[in-house]
Amino acid sequence: MDANIDSHLIDDKPHDECGVVGVFKKESKAAQIAAFALYALQHRGQESAGIASSDGESLYIQTGMGLVSNVFTPESLSGLLGEMAVGHTRYSTTGSSRLINAQPFWVTGANGDLALAHNGNLINAVELRDNLENNWDTSFSSSTDSEVLAYTLANAPGKNWEERMSHCMRNLKGAFSVVVQTKDALLAFKDPLGIRPLCLGKLDEGWMVASESAAIDLVGGEFIRELKAGETVIIDDHGVHSFIWPGRDDREALCVFELIYFSRPDSILAGSRIYLQRRSMGARLAREYPVEADLVIGIPDSATAAAMGYSEESGIPYSDGLIRNRYVGRTFIEPDQKTREADVKIKFNTLPEMIKGKRLVVVDDSIVRATTTPLVIDMLRRAGAKEIHMRVCAPPIRWPCHFGVDMATRKELVAANHSEESICELIGADSLGYLSIKGLLEVNADKGEGFCHACFSGDYPIPIQLELDKMTLEDRKPRGGHF
């Protein structure tokens, strides 16, 4: 079995593809700044990490498997020269978890050398790759859509980046928040629907871009703003220049799961702090699914803010009931029942003194396959909980994502194949309530953003070929070689 699939059955959460960062700062070691920023984005991907830098004459690159701390040391960073750098931390949604698929990608084309880091998913990657192989004699070294994107940009026609980006915006289909480094400029751009996040920050005598504002905070920068849908920002010796692709329409489709789960609670997205948005979702959930109970607890750490919002709105006291071991990362073990139970016990432990004899409201951010939720509920019952009322701060997930989130196929999604009543019975709860799509969108209606909620509604913002396989490009061997 594929290790990623195994771990999903145990760690039953959606997984984002990656985090990206770009740094342009004179008289600095930009790679070191990028490395620190990647620590703030580690939650977005733990499979591999990489940084490419430029000193104005040459590009330098280092990638490796594992966490940022495993890949980079002071010695290795010293070889990444220059005042400009782009960095990436990866979770795979297209292509397997192997070193050849680690980013950034360094490619050469008609527009020279560039290094690219990508968050998202291209739904027309096969078509684009066929064109590059047949018309540009391009040879690919990986099985990712990100390398396809890199070569598309490296060979895009046009006399300047505005014309080249116009070509890319017309031809790239799907989700892409991207940072690109040439020898003398840093580029950052978002797809015309703005599906994945990307923001701009100011450093002393420099600039940076990152998937989340928390990365800017970590290195002492000042958050300036989020990039707009279809916008390109160019940073070079002349400062910051930006433009929006004129061919985009007025639609926006920011991934609403960024608000529910992916982004850090201390990041700013859709104009406000994620933590406050999650508290508001929890409060709305309390209005939609009230219940008589003694205590509200959250599944740590992603549901803590929502649980506090539920408590505040309902008047039911909040307490810790589960303690999370924060030093346990993703586990890669076979997904049989005993090892799933062991994995849950490694990650969580109960506080019996707080929950014994209590009627609990247990708030979680999502239920995907319902493989771990029953184990958590059983753990709480063993600790003495009298009743367990499960409340989920996301609507039922009934459709797969094709825009940079790896959650499950439709046949694996429990809400696509079971009623809420049967899910309640399956997980062993006394009652179950999901936040409605209407409630989710109304809570965030003042953010001035349109949202992609296709995983709940099946209403995809871009027509897609259903059940795209993340290994599609893995099966297409390069001409004359092997991945």
Spatial contact of 65 and 48, defined as CB atoms under 8 Å apart: yes
Q: Cα separation of 85 and 77, whole Å?
A: 11
Are 76 and 123 in contact by the 8 Å Cβ rule? The answer is: no
How far is the C-alpha of 18 from the C-alpha of 6, rounded, in Å? 19
Cis-peptide, bond into residue 459, ω within 30° of zero: no
Closest CA to 326 of 347, 307, 305, 345: 347
- Rounded Cα gap, residues 224 and 219, in angstroms: 14
Outline where DSSP puts E strands in 254-315: 254-255, 268-269, 272-273, 295-298
Of 18, 199, 255, 455, which residue is the catalytic one? 18
In this structure, the number of other CB atoms found within 10 A of the CB of residue 220 comes to 11
Q: Quick one: which of 86, 150, 144 has its CA closest to 112?
A: 150
DSSP string, 176-191: EEEEEE-SS-EEEEE-
Task: Quote the CA–CA distance of 64 and 80 in Å, as a whole number.
Answer: 14
Backbone angles phi, psi at 222, to 5 degrees: -115, 120
* 168 flagged as catalytic: no
Instruction: In whole angstroms, give the CA distance from residue 172 to residue 103.
Output: 19
Active centre residues (catalytic): 18
